[in-house]
Structure 1
Amino acid sequence: MIKELQKRLKEQNIKFYYVPTDDDHQSEIVGEHDQFRKYLSGFTGSAGVLVVGQEEAWLWTDGRYFIQAEKELYPGIKLMKMGNADVPSVKNFLIDHLDDGDVLGFNGKVTTASFIIDLDEDRETDFELKDIDMTDVWTNRPERSHEPAYIYDVKYHGQSTAQKLEWIRGYMEENECNAHIITSLDDIAWTFNIRGKDIPHSPMAMAFSIITLDNAYLYLQDGTYDEAMIEAYKNDGVEIRSYDDIYLDTKRLSGQVLVDLSAINYAIYSFIDCEIMEGSNPSQYFKSIKSDVEIENTKHAHLKDGVAMTKFMYWLKTSMPDDATECSITNKLLGFREAQELFTDISFNTITAYKENAALMHYHPSHEHDVHVKKEGMLLIDSGGQYLDGTTDITRTFILGKISETERKYFTYVLKAMLKMQEAVFLYGANGIWIDGLVRHELWKQHIDFQCGTGHGVGHFLNVHEGPNDIRPRLRDPRKPSAIQEAGMITTDEPGVYIEGQFGIRLENELLCVEDIKNEYGQWMKFEPLTLCPIDLDGLDVSLLTADEREALNKYHEFVRESLKPYLTDEENEWLKTYTRGI
């Protein structure tokens, strides 16, 4: 594994080799074909960067994965805990350790252009940057996914490809751009109303795109489209070309080209032979504001998902067998979702974490290490569904029996934090950093924090994680400002408490941003909950809730009860009355 790569580095006099968790499109979740970092390091988390030296290796990841990485990393790989004061960034580490004449190797197809550009601009020594693919050391590498693509029916989203191209070209004209290169799969899927099965649990097809003021080109893998799709796209002024043609077509561009350097790979960037305007893909903003058709559909998807989750909670509370395990419970929940109309897949790997396992933010059960779940303690489940009419993401922490007073206290404070965002009223212009501080304040008063963002945008039958809207304490990318919350954006609200070796608690609802009243101070905004599932009242210390918080919880539970009542059995409805009772 890593030893073979290190042998190659010595042979070719390469001091370090940079291995991100990316595919050719800088996707957040990548297929098995692009899991080179996992193959070399043993770490299975979805975020991390590996730097391999001739004798040593280092793995950078964020606070969601510290505990997991410590358990999974192969011997000899040092964990670099991102965000800790004594841990340099990957870029600064490389700048500090590369001397004149040294060579840094990287695969340009899976490395963002912005990383290499920034590294090149900030370096203080004359080291060489070498674009070299070394994945041939990976024996039995899986093939790249090559699933058929299809056009997403307009009845689920309400906006034609021609209309979306018109919006993008309007942005290009305003910024005097002749062409726009798009490589991020979610932007391409939204712009061209195309879907596929090439990314795990995200309905997207491997594709590139170039949009000019007069033409639009969609680059797909051969064999993933048919004549009917070719003809359908011709009607929207779109020409389908072969996947790898993107490189030579990029080289032929002239004038000024719009490129998001943090969302394009270095290999494509290196083929650009004209003026570059750096900026976010305009489709990121356009698709984050859901159309009326998308909002109507996603509410229906959440209703179905709420039925599945609530039936599951009823089963968990009344019928869970004595031999239940994390894996069997995960499968049980999947069965409830599969029974719902238009369900196609889960939206990410389900996190079913019992007791201390829930302290690992992105823990996943496995059949090799399946844990027996007893009728005591807490069970955290973070899950979601992909329905043709929408994407869902929900977390609930369930009380299975006796819990400690400490667990009860923090369960209540997590709820208090979640309600802060759900009930927030704010003037238009508030961004994710402002809202993040509002949510964390309840936990900060207890001198506790969680090492991840509070919330993220959600796509429409797309990625469960979507930008530009997010709720976090600092910028993810210093090139991009924190997004303003706009009416029509869907954002998660998911604070938590994680105590290593003891327990983890997270509660999550999806919220729709809507306009409130407008007065002399400006336009006021607020959120409406989309998620429909009870908060487990068995975990609450009601004495810690204010009158306003009790009212907010009661209002939410009434919304859940009345929405789900027509879809549950008499027995389930009687049970639901208890778990949505006023407090």
Structure 2
Amino acid sequence: MFQTFETASETDKGAARLAALREAMTAEGLDGFMIPRADPHQGEYVADHDARLAWLTGFTGSAGFAIALKDVAGVFVDGRYRVQVKEQVDLSAYTPVNWPEVKPGDWLKDKLGRGRVGFDPWLHAVSEVEALRTALDGTGIELVACDNLVDRVWDDQPAPPMGEISPYPIEFAGEAHGEKRARLAAKLSDAGHRAAVITLPDSIAWLLNIRGADIPRNPVPHCFAVLHDDASVDLLAAPGKIGAALRDHLGTGVRLHGVEEFGPLLRRLSGPVRIDTGSCPVWVQAELAEGGVETATGSDPCILPKACKSEAEIAGTREAHLRDAAAMCRLLAWYEAAEKAGMREIDIVTALEGFRAETNSLLDISFDTICGSGPNGALPHYRVSEASNRAVQEGDLIVLDSGGQYFDGTTDITRTLVVGDAGAEEKACYTRVLQGMIAISRLRFPKGLAGMHLDAFARRPLWEAGLDYDHGTGHGVGTYLCVHEGPQRLSRISGVPLQEGMILSNEPGYYREGAFGIRIENLIVVQPAAELAGADDREMLEFETLTWVPIETRLIEPALLTEAERSWINDYHAQVRNKVAPRLDEATAMWLHRVTEPI
């Protein structure tokens, strides 16, 4: 098993750990200290060594941060985690704060007034600190870069990860790393930049066609890179991660260094050097300034090219999804036939991982499977543990969100299951969520529009009933990389125009605290829209569906559907049968034909 079920949160230790941190703050002459969920690479996912927020507070969500002051400690979380945080932190020691509604600057002005607040310059991006400094200007609150005080009091902190870095074959990447380096270097040169500092692990993995093993569920390496305008790259990684095969793969255009050489290398660069202020740590900016190196702000040069997948990457992703769909169908058929009395959430998770493993292609799961039954389903990012492992009950809805990492692609799929018969309210909410997913799937839109322009199409059916959900409609997805990938998103806050080749999730939901949750998710890829008779000559885009797994029709309230929506469901299920049935055993294929009959 890749997934484990131990209780990750240590709620009972939060108060004592906070007290130790406050002693360290006093010793440093600080009135506060900031604790992000971040590592020096500023990626979304962190290794155990960098899980400072979880260790200190007990909160294990994938986004959030804390600010500890001498008499109050706030844990800032968004709408996905507002139920979870109250269950995981010691509320006598920590105060949940609704973020981004409450900004850290406003909170500090209210709770501190004046004083010195420390932060680790490795763990905060330049733009984050600049924005906070601007918000605190003139208040008497000073931000102070310092050593990490959590590390100082964390006696049994795990060692940094040391996963080996391996080549990623061009047959899956679709473009040699030398060609990628040359393509991006030309753009650097056109912008007048001599070099760009790259800190995001998935950017470096994509650029150099390499993969790593430093982050669970995400095949990325912990390393840093500098791309130069002559297409050469300085790669900085622990020597133990570098083997002969990698050296041969990288060739002479990539110079290898130990991580300890990062600072001296930065100080020797000739500017202008591009930094992405949204991901570049403050430490990097300070080192460049120490060397007198001129800097320029701009996006990570890999971000957009990585998001627009090559033909080989899309072809591999299609195959990965069909392989994964067969495993999902086996799971759903097993679930339907299984005795529900005594069945628990972990039983479903372990069965699903087993079916994926039987493909003989599964390299990892792409994230810890979310399997929330009944009220647990109302936690969008619920993680089942031995302690929370709930027995399913008659009438329950089960949110099953999962994915696999395969050499040719990364999958992410959510289906909502039912135990027995669901109530009328649950069916109505489910149907509205499904209508939102269908709306995005059917959408045609002019080139140049961003996720913020499309997000409302998924919400409209829910809005009409006075309902909504507190997460984006979709995130970008990598190709045997991170299951959450930027910059593309289907979100009301995303201004990045969608482009051909971008892979996104399409996952509206609805969550009723203490009762049930619903989410339905397919992955989609942006493609040119088919021409229409009588249309003008503007470029239009649409989505190709990548996920081919039956949708639970017993939860649909047919009276709410339009004829177009009903036709979409029937056509989708016909394609599921055609694409996936040949990959199934006879019994599962018969099940598939039955559950995909027209409605």
* TM-score > 0.5 by shorter chain: yes
Contact 1:412 1:539 in 2 (8 A): yes
Return the alpha-carbon distance in structure 1 between the equivalents of residues 339 and 507 of structure 2: 26
Compute the displacement of 1:473 (Å).
1.3
Over the aligned positions, Cα root-mean-square deviation in angstroms equals 1.4
Match of 2:265 among 226, 236, 249: 249
Compute the displacement of 1:458 (Å).
0.3
1:67 aligns with 2:80: no
Contact 1:6 1:55 in 2 (8 A): no
Return the alpha-carbon distance in structure 2 between the equivalents of residues 228 and 535 of structure 1: 44
Return the alpha-carbon distance in structure 2 between the equivalents of residues 534 and 262 of structure 1: 39
Match of 1:359 among 366, 378, 381: 378
Task: Provide the residue aligned with 2:202 in structure 1.
Answer: 186
- SS of 1:426 mapped into structure 2: strand
1:400 aligns with 2:419: yes
1:304 aligns with 2:317: no
Compute the displacement of 1:391 (Å).
0.2
Contact 1:395 1:508 in 2 (8 A): yes
Match of 1:32 among 48, 51, 67: 48
> Pairwise mapping of residues 106-505 of structure 1 onto structure 2 (< 5 A)?
106-122=119-135, 123-132=137-146, 133-134=148-149, 135-214=151-230, 215-235=232-252, 237-273=253-289, 274-320=293-339, 322-475=341-494, 482-505=495-518
Return the alpha-carbon distance in structure 2 between the equivalents of residues 384 and 243 of structure 1: 33
Contact 1:378 1:401 in 2 (8 A): no
Return the alpha-carbon distance in structure 2 between the equivalents of residues 232 and 356 of structure 1: 50
Unaligned segments of structure 2, at least 5 residues? 1-16
> Pairwise mapping of residues 48-67 of structure 1 onto structure 2 (< 5 A)?
48-67=64-83
- Deviation string 1:43-101 (CA, Å, 9 cap, x unpaired) is 111111100011210010100000000111123211001244xxx2113323555555x
Task: Provide the residue aligned with 1:513 in structure 2.
Answer: 526
Relative to the length of structure 1, the TM-score reads: 0.96
Structure 2 letter corresponding to 1:454:
T
Return the alpha-carbon distance in structure 2 between the equivalents of residues 83 and 32 of structure 1: 26
The size of the alignment, in residue pairs, is 572
Task: Provide the residue aligned with 1:77 in structure 2.
Answer: 94
Task: Provide the residue aligned with 1:479 in structure 2.
Answer: none
Structure 2 letter corresponding to 1:124:
G
Return the alpha-carbon distance in structure 2 between the equivalents of residues 184 and 39 of structure 1: 23
Task: Provide the residue aligned with 2:106 in structure 1.
Answer: 92
- SS of 2:86 mapped into structure 1: helix
Return the alpha-carbon distance in structure 2 between the equivalents of residues 322 and 316 of structure 1: 12
Structure 2 letter corresponding to 1:109:
W
Return the alpha-carbon distance in structure 1 between the equivalents of residues 301 and 241 of structure 2: 27
Compute the displacement of 1:199 (Å).
0.7
User: Between the two proteins, what is the percent identity of the paired residues?
Assistant: 32
Relative to the length of structure 2, the TM-score reads: 0.93
Return the alpha-carbon distance in structure 2 between the equivalents of residues 426 and 67 of structure 1: 36
Return the alpha-carbon distance in structure 1 between the equivalents of residues 153 and 75 of structure 2: 19
Compute the displacement of 1:453 (Å).
0.2
Which stretch shifts more, 248-257 or 500-509?
A: 248-257
Structure 1 letter corresponding to 2:366:
S
Unaligned segments of structure 1, at least 5 residues? 476-481
Return the alpha-carbon distance in structure 2 between the equivalents of residues 251 and 152 of structure 1: 31
Return the alpha-carbon distance in structure 2 between the equivalents of residues 378 and 368 of structure 1: 20
- Deviation string 1:84-143 (CA, Å, 9 cap, x unpaired) is 4xxx2113323555555x211011111112111222334223443322221110121111
Task: Provide the residue aligned with 2:8 in structure 1.
Answer: none
Task: Provide the residue aligned with 2:14 in structure 1.
Answer: none
Runs of 4+ off more than 4 Å? 95-100
